[in-house]
């Protein structure tokens, strides 16, 4: 469907939990969270499937499962299988920290997952521990190796470059796309919650480092996903390098996405609180037709653009990244 600005909205990011087995310094406090979504508030898989059936009727056919960490929620592979079976759903992908991926990659692939994004900010165990406050580096690397061993082709590595942590790691991270046909993507740090204490590394700086290490980067015209990433090829690389810059390469004019939080809030923009709470409706007597119409009206109102670093902060969302899912 189209929103009030004529943008085609066809992609929903669904956070299936706000819990996580890592504590990335820029995302979650060390001690965890006091106000996790309670078991009574969290959308059941049946409720998620029902909402997705309604969204599919509005032409929203692409889904990304996220979290918190989506793989910590039991039955995630079955959810993928059931989502894939819904009429109008073209694509179901997932973004994961990879900790449980070695165990679950086979199940996800067998369920028909269309893309696996693994978040990895470093290839050094001690820096991983510094960033995530957990000692799961080997598990994550084993998860990535398992996906490769299964010869899965739609693998992406997502890295958030942060001056205080991993600037010296970026060349090594990019090198992972040399021998395997996957994308390594650098995602600009957004000033949300704890991340406000850290400094992003600019795309230009990263490109300079990669060019020096590997040779000239040439823009890649093909499409490798649903999002706003800009891709580049490097000499002798089987895969590609991508950049997503929500702040310095503002792509709101082409934004195609909405978000559903684990407690049923339909969210229209990453840093704004606009949207609507679907929980009372889905737990009340609303019919599928009513739910669909309510969502159509909410989505239509999608704001024109995010307001990061602008004076107009009145609609800024207090939700943190682990509640929204990126």
What does the binding site for ligand SF4 look like in residue numbers (CB under 6 A)? 20, 22-24, 27-28, 67-69, 97, 119, 321-322
Q: Which long-range contacts (CB under 8 A, 24 or more apart) does 221-226 make?
A: 224/156, 224/183, 225/115, 225/156, 225/183, 226/10, 226/11, 226/62, 226/64, 226/91, 226/256, 226/257
- How far is Cα of residue 104 from the mean position of the Cα atoms in its chain? 18
Q: Which residue lies nearer to ligand SF4 by CB, 12 or 24? A: 24
Burial 199-235 (b: 16+ CB within 10 A, else e): ebbebeebbebbeeebeebeebeeebbbbbbebbbbe
66 binds, among ligand SAM, ligand SF4, none (CB under 5 to 8 A by kind): ligand SAM
Question: Which residues are CB-neighbours of 236 under 8 A, at least 6 positions away?
Answer: 178, 214
* Closest separation in Å from C-beta 312 to ligand SF4: 27
Give how far Cα 78 sits from Cα of 112, 180, 197, 263, Å.
Answer: 10, 28, 38, 20
95 binds, among ligand SAM, ligand SF4, none (CB under 5 to 8 A by kind): ligand SAM
Q: Which residue lies nearer to ligand SF4 by CB, 12 or 189? A: 189
23 binds, among ligand SF4, ligand SAM, none (CB under 5 to 8 A by kind): ligand SF4
Tell me which residues touch ligand SAM (CB under 6 A): 20, 26-27, 66-67, 69, 95-97, 119, 158, 160, 187, 189-190, 192, 195, 321-322, 325-326
* Closest separation in Å from C-beta 104 to ligand SAM: 13
Q: Which residue lies nearer to ligand SF4 by CB, 60 or 192? A: 192
28 binds, among ligand SF4, ligand SAM, none (CB under 5 to 8 A by kind): ligand SF4
Q: Which residue lies nearer to ligand SF4 by CB, 69 or 102? A: 69
Query: In 10 A of CB 29, how many CB atoms?
Result: 14
């Amino acid at each position: 469907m189209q929103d009030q600005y004529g943008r085609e909205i066809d992609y929903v990011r669904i956070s299936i939990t706000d819990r996580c087995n890592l504590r990335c310094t820029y995302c979650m406090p060390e001690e965890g969270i006091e106000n996790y979504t309670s078991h009574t508030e969290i959308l059941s898989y049946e409720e998620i499937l029902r909402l997705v059936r309604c969204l599919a009727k509005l032409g929203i056919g692409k889904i990304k499962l996220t979290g918190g960490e989506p793989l910590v929620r039991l039955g995630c592979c079955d959810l993928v299988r059931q989502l894939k079976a819904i009429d109008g759903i073209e694509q179901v992908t997932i973004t994961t920290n990879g900790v449980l991926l070695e165990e679950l990659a086979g199940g996800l692939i067998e369920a028909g997952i269309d893309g696996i994004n693994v978040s990895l900010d470093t290839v050094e165990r001690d820096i991983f521990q510094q960033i995530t406050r957990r000692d799961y580096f080997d598990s994550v690397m084993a998860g990535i190796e398992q996906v490769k061993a299964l010869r899965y082709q739609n693998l992406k590595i997502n890295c958030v470059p942060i001056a205080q942590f991993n600037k010296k790691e970026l060349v090594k991270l990019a090198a992972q796309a040399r021998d395997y046909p996957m994308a390594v993507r650098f995602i600009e740090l957004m000033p949300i919650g704890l991340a406000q204490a850290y400094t992003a590394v600019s795309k230009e700086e990263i490109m300079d480092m990669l060019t020096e290490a590997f040779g000239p980067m040439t823009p890649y015209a093909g499409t490798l996903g649903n999002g706003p990433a800009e891709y580049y090829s490097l000499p002798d690389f089987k895969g590609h390098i991508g950049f997503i810059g929500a702040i310095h390469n503002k792509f709101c004019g082409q934004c195609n996405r909405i978000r559903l939080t684990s407690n049923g809030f339909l969210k229209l923009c990453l840093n704004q609180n606009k949207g609507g709470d679907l929980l009372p409706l889905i737990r009340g007597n609303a019919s599928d037709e009513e739910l669909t119409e309510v969502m159509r009206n909410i989505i239509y109102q999608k704001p024109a653009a995010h307001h990061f670093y602008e004076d107009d902060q009145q609609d800024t969302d207090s939700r943190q990244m682990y509640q929204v899912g990126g």
